[in-house]
């Protein structure tokens, strides 16, 4: 009998990280019913911006690298956590601006458009940063490992999972407990009525998109030290994100979070028996669940079905 | 607007004859303009793939984002049959078609109750499953490296035997396959079956109410489309003399969507062919100047999606209508019929 506890723990931390990646994707799809396939590329962009700030890479101009190198590592890391989401939010607003033309059309066009944008961003990253791998340094207080039950655990992984849990809580608070959240949800539910109440819906959508994409960048910065930074990382991230959204049910916040934990735990557990194949289990789970429940675990009716 | 259902469609249209005659001359001049015969092979193979894909996207309105899986399954089936069962070309090609058809049929059973974006999601998930298996099952597929040293066997048609090892002779073989495909697909999309697919594209619910068993049509068209993709995959394994998992990745599944859309698969029978040619020519011509050719192609794709989802063929149709208006004639708006006939 294999001791399963470490695998379950690993799985749950992985699940929280999946939830963190999916958070922004979830907001945009849940509140605007728009699929943002560029989410993964924006995630990658966040990680690459962090490299410029933390790693002092003199990529764009020597100025950036030299400027940030003056600060201690911990500051640079915090700066990356703040600046990367801001920069990516601006890019995200650009994406939303282009996407406006597709709102009245078949949701397929939004999907195609963001696929194209994802490709452009990924190729742009290749052009600026090259194809090599980067490693993001983290401050010594959260790097390294510790020993628990005769096993070595990565401190950063637990820090990242904790960070993810806090981010999930904060996003939930924004949506459920603030007037902004109420307006956003109302906009998703009946945008005619919201417009009639005098609320500027296009500005609202811009803000939601900026918020969602900045969460992608935040996830990118947090996950970069664990997964490494390479141009392909966007696809590796967007796939689990879309998977947990569909599994949890489009439009359901807690559905997606529960689906993330479920997928994480499943990948962790199957990893105990067949580590090579563990990632396959999440696709099989998705197929199994959606075969029985078309809208996922907690899904509601959505325009995306038509 | 649908063509008149009572007029029986021509088996061979003038557009086909002109296209095929033009394509037959390609090996004579392609090297003079600085390209190479192998590019022609690739364009034809991807055209077959895109034509098969367009049965779903353009004719039935079903977005599949995991079609690379079937292309890849065809390529692997071709290679594995050659290594383990028979070195007869025809048997290997049939294996590629049947293999991807079976896989496509199984997938279609799971997804055909879905619509729209959910359909796309499910195809992504299945595409990833097959890609993942191809990467991980080292013993069967050779993992990341793939199956190497697949031979181009001679084509034996009873009275004669053609050696396909040179790219020019292989080009003519693929051109023959392409010609068969064009004729067969043109017949198919103009048949009652093809009309029903277009009805499903317009409105699935209405097609159901009219009395069609939409689910069966969706299963059938997906299986057929997968089989054609597998056929193209088998040819691709011959062209590359190898089969590898890269073509099954999400990226490659996306490229086929891009090609089909850019060419104008939504409005024209020939759109996928135009798109495949545009994609591969951009890769070779723009790629010679800058490694960032994908960046520019992606930009172009974004612009097409935003401003002209009907693609290059749509632009051509607009120009034709504009020209007709200028000459004072009434514009003819019947894209499918017009570009085909």
pLDDT for res B129: 93
- Interchain CB contact of A259 with B (< 8 Å): no
The nearest alpha carbon in chain B to A126 belongs to: B292
In a domain, A237, yes or no: yes
- Picking from A116, A131, A302 by the largest number of B CB atoms within 10 A of its own CB, the best residue to mutate is A116
B contacts of A291 (beta carbons < 8 Å): 110
Buried b (16+ CB within 10 A) or exposed e, B191-213: eeebebbbbbbeebeebeeeebe
Q: Could you tell me the residue range of the domain that residue A220 belongs to?
A: 28-136+147-251
Contact status of B250 with chain A (Cβ, < 8 Å): yes
SS3 at position B155: strand
Place of tokens 């019947």: B334
B chain contacts of residue A109, beta-carbon cutoff 8 Å: 305, 309
Residue of chain A whose Cα is closest to the Cα of B201: A306
Using a CB–CB cutoff of 8 Å, tell me whether B289 touches chain A. Answer: no
Q: Cβ of A119 under 8 Å from any chain B Cβ? A: yes
Taking an 8 Å cut-off on Cβ atoms, the answer to whether B292 and A123 are in contact is yes
**Strand-pair partners of A134:** A229
How far apart are the C-alpha atoms of B198 and B203, rounded to whole Å?
A: 9
Q: B136 contacts in A (CB within 8 Å)?
A: 276-277, 280
Tell me the C-alpha distance between B283 and A146, whole Å.
50
Q: In which residue are the tokens 């049509």 written? A: B217
* pLDDT(B331) > 70: no
Q: Is B33 on the interface with A (CB under 8 A)?
A: no
A293-296 contacts, C-beta under 8 A, 24 or more apart:
A294/B113, A294/B114, A294/B118, A295/A249, A295/A250, A296/A245, A296/A246, A296/A247, A296/A248, A296/A249, A296/A250, A296/A252, A296/A255, A296/A259
A175 touches chain B (CB under 8 A): no
Q: What is the pLDDT of residue B298?
A: 92
For residue A154, what is the enclosing H or E element? strand A151-154
For residues A28 and A172, the answer to whether their CB atoms sit within 8 Å is no
Among A30, A120, A237, most B C-beta atoms within 10 A, so best to mutate, is A120
Which of A107, A235, A286 lies closest to B250 in CB terms? Answer: A235
pLDDT at position A33: 78
Assess if residue A257 is contained within a domain.
no
Percentage of residues of chain B with pLDDT beyond 70: 94
- Report chain A's terminal Cα–Cα distance, integer Å: 48
pLDDT of residue B341: 38
Q: Which chain B residues have a beta carbon less than 8 Å from that of A124?
A: 295
User: What pLDDT, on a 0 to 100 scale, did the predictor assign at position B295?
Assistant: 92
pLDDT in tens, B38-70: 999 999 999 999 999 999 999 999 999 999 999
Residues 6+ apart with CB under 8 A from B151: B82, B87, B241
Confidence of residue B339 (pLDDT cuts 50, 70, 90): very low
Is residue A292 a part of any domain in this protein?
no
With CB atoms and an 8 Å threshold, state whether A239 touches B128.
yes
pLDDT exceeds cutoff 80 at B142: yes
B116 and A107: CB-CB below 8 Å?
yes
B265 vs A contacts (CB less than 8 Å)? none
Residues of B within 8 A of A115 (CB-CB) are: 254, 257-258
Nearest to A231 by CA among A93, A76, A84, A119: A119
Helix, strand, coil percentages, rounded to 5, for chain A: 75, 5, 20
Number of domains into which chain A is organized: 1
CB distance A220 to A17 below 8 Å = no
Stretch B252-256: mean pLDDT, rounded? 93
The whole model's pTM is what? 0.90
Give the residue-averaged pLDDT of B198-216: 91
Residue A164 belongs to some domain of the structure: yes
Supply the pLDDT for residue B338: 46
Contacting residues of A for B297, CB less than 8 Å apart? 119
SS3 A81: helix
As a whole number of angstroms, the distance between CA A272 and CA B323 comes to 67
Kindly give, in sequence order, each residue whose CB lies less than 8 Å from that of residue A125, ignoring residues fewer than 6 positions away: A41, A44, A45, A48, A231
Under-50 pLDDT residues of chain A: none
A145: which strand partners? Answer: A154
Closest CB to A283 among B117, B128, B299: B128
How many whole angstroms separate alpha carbon B10 and alpha carbon B218? 26
| CB atoms B294 and A123 under 8 Å | yes
Q: How many CB atoms lie within 10 A of CB B78?
A: 31
Structure tokens at A95: 């994406």
- B41: closest CA of chain A, how far (Å): 26
- Given CB atoms, is A166 within the 8 Å cutoff of chain B? no
- A243 chain-B contacts, CB cut-off 8 A: 125
Is B332 part of the contact surface with chain A (CB cutoff 8 Å)? no
Do B117 and A127 count as a contact with CB atoms less than 8 A apart? no
Contact B280, B287 (CB under 8 A): no
Closest Cα in chain A to B62: A108
Q: CB-CB: which of B117, B121, B302 is closest to A120?
A: B302
Nearest by CB: A123 against B65, B129, B298: B298
pLDDT the model gives residue A102: 85
For range B131-147, the mean pLDDT: 89
Tell if the CB–CB gap between B251 and A120 is shorter than 8 Å.
no
Main-chain dihedrals φ then ψ at residue A141, nearest 5 degrees:
-65, -25
How many other CB atoms are there within 10 angstroms of residue B109's CB atom?
14
Could you please report the per-residue DSSP string of A106-149? -HHHHHHHHHHHHHHHHHHHHHHH-SS-B-----GGG-SEEEET
The residue ranking higher by pLDDT, A188 or B180, is: B180
Mutate to test the interface with B, among A28, A44, A110, A112 (most CBs of B within 10 A): A112
Listed in sequence order, the residues at least 6 apart from B274 whose beta carbon sits closer than 8 Å to its beta carbon are B263, B264, B268, B311, B312, B313
Per the CB < 8 Å rule, is A306 touching B125? no
- Give the pLDDT band of residue B335 (cuts 50, 70, 90): low
According to DSSP, the β-strands at B161-162 and B155-156 are antiparallel
CA distance A47 to A221: 5
Span B242-247, mean pLDDT? 92
Whether B298 contacts chain A with CB within 8 A? yes
- The nearest CA of chain B is from the CA of A242 a distance in Å of 8
Pick the residue from chain B with its C-alpha nearest to A119: B298
Residue of A34, A108, A274 to mutate when probing chain B, most B C-beta within 10 A:
A108
Tell me the chain B residues in contact with residue A113 when contact means C-beta distances shorter than 8 Å: 302, 305-306
- Complex-level ipTM: 0.88
Name residue B300's beta-bridge partners. none
A304 to chain B nearest CA, in Å? 6
Interface size, chain A vs chain B, as Cβ–Cβ contacts under 8 Å: 106
Task: Give the closest of A107, A242, A279 to B132, CB-based.
Answer: A279
Do the chains contact at B110 and A113, CB–CB below 8 Å?
no
């Amino acid at each position: 009998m294999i001791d399963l506890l470490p695998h379950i723990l690993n799985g749950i931390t992985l699940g929280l990280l999946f939830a963190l990646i999916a958070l922004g994707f979830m907001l945009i799809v849940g509140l605007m019913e728009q699929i943002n396939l560029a989410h993964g590329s924006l995630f990658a962009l966040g990680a690459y911006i962090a490299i410029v700030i933390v790693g002092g890479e003199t990529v764009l101009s020597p100025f950036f690298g030299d400027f940030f190198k003056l600060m201690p590592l911990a500051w640079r890391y915090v700066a990356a956590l703040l600046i990367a989401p801001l920069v990516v939010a601006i890019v995200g607003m650009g994406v939303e601006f282009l996407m406006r033309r597709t709102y009245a059309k078949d949701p397929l066009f939004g999907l195609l458009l963001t696929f194209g944008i994802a490709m452009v961003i990924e190729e742009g990253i290749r052009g600026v940063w090259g194809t090599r791998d980067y490693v993001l340094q983290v401050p010594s207080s959260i790097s390294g490992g510790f020993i628990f039950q005769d096993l070595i655990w990565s401190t950063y992984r637990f820090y990242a999972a904790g960070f993810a849990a806090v981010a999930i809580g904060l996003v939930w608070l924004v949506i459920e407990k603030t007037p902004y959240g109420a307006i956003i949800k109302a906009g998703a539910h009946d945008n005619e009525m919201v417009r009639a109440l005098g609320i500027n819906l296009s500005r609202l959508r811009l803000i939601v998109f900026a918020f969602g994409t900045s969460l992608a960048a935040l996830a990118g910065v947090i996950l970069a030290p664990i997964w490494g930074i390479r141009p392909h990382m966007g696809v590796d991230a967007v796939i689990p994100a879309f998977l947990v959204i569909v599994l949890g049910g489009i439009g359901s916040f807690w559905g997606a979070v529960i689906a993330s934990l479920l997928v994480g735990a499943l990948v962790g557990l199957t990893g105990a028996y067949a580590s090579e194949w563990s990632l396959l289990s999440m696709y099989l789970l998705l197929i199994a669940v959606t075969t029985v429940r078309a809208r996922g675990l907690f899904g509601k009716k959505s325009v995306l079905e038509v | 607007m649908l063509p008149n259902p009572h007029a029986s469609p021509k088996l061979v249209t003038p557009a086909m004859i002109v296209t095929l005659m033009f394509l037959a001359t390609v090996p004579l001049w392609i090297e003079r303009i600085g390209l190479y015969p192998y590019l022609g092979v690739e364009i034809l193979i991807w055209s077959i793939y895109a034509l098969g894909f367009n049965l779903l996207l353009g004719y039935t309105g079903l977005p599949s984002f995991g079609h690379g899986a079937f292309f890849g399954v065809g390529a692997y089936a071709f290679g594995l049959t050659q290594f383990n069962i028979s070195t007869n070309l025809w048997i290997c090609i049939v294996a590629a078609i049947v293999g991807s058809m079976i896989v496509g049929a199984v997938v279609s059973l799971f997804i055909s109750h879905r619509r729209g974006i959910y359909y796309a999601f499910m195809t992504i998930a299945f595409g990833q499953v097959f890609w993942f298996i191809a990467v991980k099952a080292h013993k069967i597929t050779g993992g990341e490296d793939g199956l190497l040293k697949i031979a181009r066997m001679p084509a034996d048609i009873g009275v004669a035997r053609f050696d396909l090892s040179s790219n020019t002779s292989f080009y003519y073989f693929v051109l023959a396959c392409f010609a068969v495909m064009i004729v067969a697909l043109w017949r198919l999309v103009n048949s009652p079956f093809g009309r029903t697919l277009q009805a499903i594209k317009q409105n699935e619910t209405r097609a159901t109410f009219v009395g069609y068993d939409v689910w069966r049509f969706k299963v059938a068209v997906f299986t057929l489309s997968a089989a054609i993709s597998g056929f193209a995959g088998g040819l691709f394994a011959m062209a590359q003399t190898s089969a590898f998992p890269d073509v099954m990745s999400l990226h490659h599944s996306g490229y086929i969507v891009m090609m089909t859309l850019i060419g104008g698969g939504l409005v024209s029978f020939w759109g996928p062919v135009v798109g495949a040619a545009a994609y591969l020519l951009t890769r070779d011509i723009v790629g010679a100047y800058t490694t960032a050719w994908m960046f520019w192609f992606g930009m172009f794709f974004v612009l097409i999606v935003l401003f002209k989802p009907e693609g290059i063929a749509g632009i051509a149709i607009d120009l034709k209508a504009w020209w007709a208006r200028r000459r004072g004639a009434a514009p003819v708006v019947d894209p499918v019929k017009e570009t085909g006939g």
